[in-house]
A and B are shown apart, each in its own frame.
Chain A
Amino acid sequence: MQRHLKARGSSLVVDGVGKTFGHGADEHRVIEDLSLRVDPGELVCVVGPSGAGKTTLLRCLSGLARPTSGTISYGEQELTKPHADIAVVFQDYRGSLLPWMKVRDNVAFPLEGMGVKRAARRERADECLAAVGLPGVGDKYPWQLSGGMQQRVAIARGLAYEAPVLLMDEPFGSVDAQSRFDLEDLTLSLRERLGITVVVVTHDIDEAVYLGDRVIVLGGSPTTVVDNLTIDLGDDRDQLRTRAHARFADLRTHVLTLIRGDRSAAGSADTPARDEDTPGQAAAVTESAVRR
């Protein structure tokens, strides 16, 4: 499904991927026979319990790691190393911004690697900083900004790379609640304006349901895809109205049940959980069950 007419890039296809760490007796199979597909212009959230190998999957999607078995392809091409069409926003924004570079240089750094001229780099970096709501901080160093602002800088760097696909690993995990809502809405509006494909890996079920066109639920041990849900909440999401919607509660409860069931009964709870829990209870459980 091509969601946007202006959507660029190709489809990301994961086919029967497995990933094993260690050798011999220490061998540990993290992911097994995992398949999924993300089409141009989609915003897909991948949600799963802690330790399910979400970051490992995202590293494979970005070409930073190779799966042990199965293939990941982008368009016609098998992904074996980082691709010019794929930008990554890492979970650890503090560690992934280069502390010796000013904010503008950080954003422009991938462009420097592509051989873009200095003046054009500056202009593009300032545009991207403005796009994430941070005009005028280009001359500061990353440590002079708050956590939420630093993560915006990391997103701006991803945008500056001009890749059609943006992968985000727990991007809003360590910022305060208000910044988190702002960043979620920023992600939605960037996707809308730029027609980029976005994959967000998160452990936060509410966030996944709020953001996604689709939510892919991971579970099991080793991890595989437990469910692939289309989120029929429409394109116009709003932090207050969407989250208060009955359908939102249904979807979130469904995902939560999958993840919890997976934990307690090793994947036997496949029953959709409509109308079983009240949203209030579900929210409380979400917090305790999914927090790391």
Chain B
Amino acid sequence: MVTSTTRQRSAPGRAPLTGRARAVGQGRTGLLLLQASTVLLVLAVWAALAAAGFVSSTALPGPGAVFGRFPELFGDGAYWQAVLDTLRGAVTGFVLAVVVGVPLGLVTGTYAAAERSTRLLVDVLRSFPVIALLPVFLLVLGSTPTTKSTVVFIACVFPVFLQAQYGARSVTPMVAETVRGYRIPRLLRFHRVILPSATPSIMTGLRLAATTSVLVAIGVEVLTTLPGIGHEVVQAQQGDASATAYAYIITAGVIGYTINLLSQVAERRLLRWRPPAHTD
């Protein structure tokens, strides 16, 4: 039993495929084809709508026009600068949220009293719509990159904090009893027991926060004069260059999708200890 599970785990690309594995492989290719054709279908509908002229070509240029903008944009330093500005704001806020949210969440999640005493404050704070707070930050911090990172931080810190807290609470009573019975010291308990127990939940929080960080960074750029992708979208739209605006929007989408892929890879690596039933 042990050997067979081990073989199954290391199967991809090595051991000859069994009947079932081949079927799964076929299913995967089929799925990819299906997914690709859905994307193509949407593009086709988009192209048809644009060509039929239901919507004016300034409001909705066809996919050809939009994707045709990319070669030029890729050669343009301003495009990369905008991407970089957005990413810098998003990543700074996100990293701060992780550095603050994860330890606080783990500590408050471990001690019931800390969790109970902070619950009201956290619930009130996280209910504030972060974009509505933007004018306040503009007033206090001015229209600076710091404002962007701060707003991103505030938007990201709550999902990270709450997921870490929830994760810390997921230490099973049996594990807690074992750790106590074997007199494991507090620090060791934190990084060898509570942190790994909480990792699946923390990863969910990080994935949420990572997507949110880009979203909020772009939102702030749209609403202020801060440079970045959001700013370029507004500029292009106002300059009647809607194809360029859509190209930037697609860029934002690609960034979001890439973040999702990366976090999936990170999650799979960090949670390698889980039985296969969980990872699939």
Contact = CB atoms under 8 A, between A and B. Distances in A.
Given A98-B193, A100-B273, A146-B1, A113 B185 contact: yes
Interface in A119-172: 137, 140-141, 143-146, 157, 161
A90 B178 contact: yes
Given A95-B172, A99-B274, A112 B192 contact: yes
Given A64-B177, A112-B192, A82 B172 contact: no
Interface in B1-54: 1-2, 5-6
Interface of A: prevailing SS: loop
26 contacts: A62-B181, A82-B181, A82-B182, A84-B183, A88-B181, A88-B182, A90-B174, A90-B178, A95-B174, A96-B175, A96-B178, A98-B175, A98-B193, A98-B196, A99-B274, A101-B273, A109-B182, A110-B182, A110-B183, A113-B182, A140-B2, A143-B275, A144-B2, A144-B6, A146-B1, A157-B182
Contacts of A145: 2
Given A112-B188, A144-B2, A95 B175 contact: yes
B188 A141 contact: no
A62 B177 CA distance: 11
Interface in A50-104: 62-64, 82, 84, 87-88, 90, 92, 95-96, 98-102
A265 B177 CA distance: 36
B183 A113 contact: yes
Interface residues of B, number: 24
Across the A-B interface, give the 4 residue pairs with the lowest CB-CB distance, nearest first.
A95-B174, A110-B182, A100-B196, A113-B184
A141 B181 contact: no
B268 interface: no
Contacts of B197: 100
B180 interface: yes
A90 to B, nearest CB: 7
A64 B1 contact: no
B183 A90 contact: no
A109 B185 CA distance: 11
B265 to A, nearest CB: 18
Contacts of B185: 113
B199 to A, nearest CB: 8
Contacts of B178: 88, 90, 96, 98
A109 B191 CA distance: 12
A82 B180 CA distance: 7
A64 B180 CA distance: 7
A82 B5 CA distance: 37
A88 B180 CA distance: 10
Of listed A63, A99, A140, A145, residue having the most chain B CB within 10 A: A99
A102 B192 CA distance: 12
B101 to A, nearest CB: 21
A99 B273 contact: yes
A98 B180 CA distance: 13
Interface in B192-226: 192-193, 196-197, 199
